Amino acid sequence: MPNFLLFLAASVAITLAPGADNLQVLARGISQGRLAGVVAACGFAFGVIFHTTLAALDIAALLCSSPLAFQAVKLEGAAYLVWIGIKALRSHGLATAHERTSQPLSTVFGQSVMLQMFELGGVFMLQTVVVFSAFGIGAGMIGAWLKRRPRVGVWLDRLAGATFIALGIRVALRD
């Protein structure tokens, strides 16, 4: 693979780009601590297997070749982002989040679901674990700080909610 380092750099850039998965890892780390942030990161990385399988079997290309199917998937994703945003806007911040029972780590992990393609998918998965784990650990540290300042959590939820809604609208309106 002569372009391996280029692939790795592009993969890291994609993983670092703000998105719903990054926000979920950050939120999980903030609300449940570093370990939960790392477990959420592993869950998202494990979900890469699904995308890699679709790409390796050319199912992704088939989906892209059908404008109706692509539009349906795009609008579903947009609606999901808006729904997450509305939930975040309606939340009462970390103060009430900490009063609720934390989810088991096995539940946190499961939230997210040809040879060279699988190898590259494995590389993408590994770097996703590293990058998102760093997010999760950092978020856990921020969460500990926020537990001492619960009012800040309410404003972070508002920011996250507005971000998800904006992403959902952007996805829906994008060509």
Averaged pLDDT for residues 130-150: 89
Highest mean pLDDT among 18-22, 91-95, 161-165: 161-165
Written as six digits, the tokens of 18 are 């703000």
Q: What is the pLDDT of residues 109-120, one digit of tens each?
A: 766 745 666 777
> Which secondary-structure segment (H or E) carries 54?
helix 34-56
Task: Give 99: exposed, middle or buried? Use CB within 10 Å, 0-12, 13-18, 19+.
Answer: exposed
Highest mean pLDDT among 38-47, 66-75, 151-160: 38-47
| pTM for this model (two decimals) | 0.56
Question: What's the confidence (pLDDT) of residue 113?
Answer: 45
Q: Give yes or no for residue 96 having a pLDDT over 60.
A: no
Question: What's the confidence (pLDDT) of residue 93?
Answer: 67
Averaged pLDDT for residues 132-159: 87
123-127's contacts with Cβ under 8 Å and 24+ in sequence apart are 123/4, 123/7, 123/8, 123/11, 124/11, 124/15, 124/48, 124/52, 125/45, 125/46, 125/48, 125/49, 125/52, 126/45, 127/8, 127/11, 127/12, 127/15
Question: What's the confidence (pLDDT) of residue 137?
Answer: 92
